[in-house]
Amino acid sequence: MNVTFFGQFLLDQGLISQKQLNEAISFQRENNALLGSLALEKGLLTREQVLEIMREQQLRYEKFGEIAIRKQYLTEEQVRELLNIQGKNHVFLGEALTRRNYLSIRELNRQLDRFDQDMRQKEASIQSVLQGLDDQGIFVCAYEMIRKYLYRLGYATHVCEISHALPSQAFDHVVFLSQKDSQRVHWMGVYLPDVLAYQIAYGKQPTTTIPSRESFQKEVARLLGNLNVIIGEEMHRKGVALQMGEVRVQPPEDVPSWTCLHIETLIETYAVVLGTAPVGAL
């Protein structure tokens, strides 16, 4: 799903063949080690334990690492280390295509730009939903800022679903940002999985030590806090006077309703939630 919708776009443009796409995806699978494979390689799990966890995954919506921790086969620290290794070494579909000489880097970048424009056209309904919200100008700006922020990091995005509640799926990192005027607080919550958060915080640069969970979460919150400053500056340029509010990890209780955007990238799915509360919520 996440790794193939850009590939389908390239197929539709006649830039690659189905055989080339299949070979690039196979290249990804060979190089993007699954958590179970990494745990086997490091001697943290036996083959029987990996198969047991995979069988349980087929019966319930739960991540490999979550099951391993629940069964006490792995500690949280061990799962975090495996996820960090997995994130640092992830091969994107575009990277697989260029490494096999099916696309040049220049052509890949050109097609990523076209793909991003295509996604924007298909998201016309998303924009209409955002513009139907109270304080829509602020929320459209917030959505555009995080979209551009991730795009600069190499993540083309696509809103695959809209709901009106906080995500039911468990995410590894949750950060809420706020901007306020004299009457209301405008909240944007960002829900990220570990692999995506790691690449946002640390990129693919090799690290000599695995960051602690606490420092990892602080770095993600710091980067998103910087994004909140950019959102405020952009709104000021648009003539909307706002004051930056707090950054927190728990959703505020005074927001009567949420609009949740479920967003796919070429590697993972994340969520952005938008809502407004009385100014006393801070």
> Does 174 fall in a domain?
yes
Q: How confident is the model at residue 282 (pLDDT cuts 50, 70, 90)?
A: very low
| Same-domain status, 144 and 247 | yes
% pLDDT > 90, the chain: 6
Which H or E element spans position 277?
A: strand 269-278
Name the pairing type of β-strands 184-192 and 173-180: antiparallel
85-117 pLDDT tens trace: 777 677 778 888 888 899 998 898 888 888 777
| Same-domain status, 199 and 151 | yes
> Does 63 fall in a domain?
yes
**Of 233, 102, 121, 114, nearest in space to 179 by CA:** 233
> Does 219 fall in a domain?
yes
For 210, which DSSP code? P
25-75 pLDDT tens trace: 888 777 777 788 888 888 999 988 988 888 777 666 567 888 889 889 999
The alpha carbon of 184 is separated from its chain's Cα centroid by a whole number of angstroms, namely 28
Burial code (b: 16+ CB inside 10 Å, e: under 16) for 58-93 equals eeeeebbbbbbeeeebbeeebbbbbbbbbbbebbbb
What's the CA gap between 248 and 190, in Å, rounded?
Answer: 11
182-233 pLDDT tens trace: 888 889 899 998 878 877 777 655 454 566 778 888 888 888 888 888 888 8
Q: Is 2 exposed, middle or buried (0-12, 13-18, 19+ CB in 10 A)?
A: middle
Q: What is the dihedral of CA 130, 134, 135, 141, to 10 degrees?
A: -10
Q: Looking at the 3D structure of the chain, how many domains does it have?
A: 2
What's the CA gap between 246 and 279, in Å, rounded?
Answer: 12
Phi, psi of 184 (to 5 degrees): -135, 155
Helix, strand, coil percentages in the chain from 3-state DSSP, rounded to 5: 50, 15, 30
229-269 pLDDT tens trace: 888 888 888 787 788 888 888 888 888 888 888 887 766 78
| Same-domain status, 38 and 144 | no
> Does 238 fall in a domain?
yes
| Same-domain status, 12 and 96 | yes
| Same-domain status, 150 and 260 | yes
> Does 240 fall in a domain?
yes
- As given in the structure block, the two tokens for residue 227 are 């994004």
Distances (CA, A) of 177 to 29, 32, 108, 124, 269: 36, 33, 33, 25, 19
pLDDT of residue 115: 79
pTM: 0.59
| Same-domain status, 259 and 139 | yes
The residue segments making up the domain with residue 20 are: 6-106
| Cβ atoms within 10 Å, residue 125 | 10
CATH code, 175: 3.40.1550.10
Question: Would you say residue 24 has pLDDT above 80?
Answer: yes
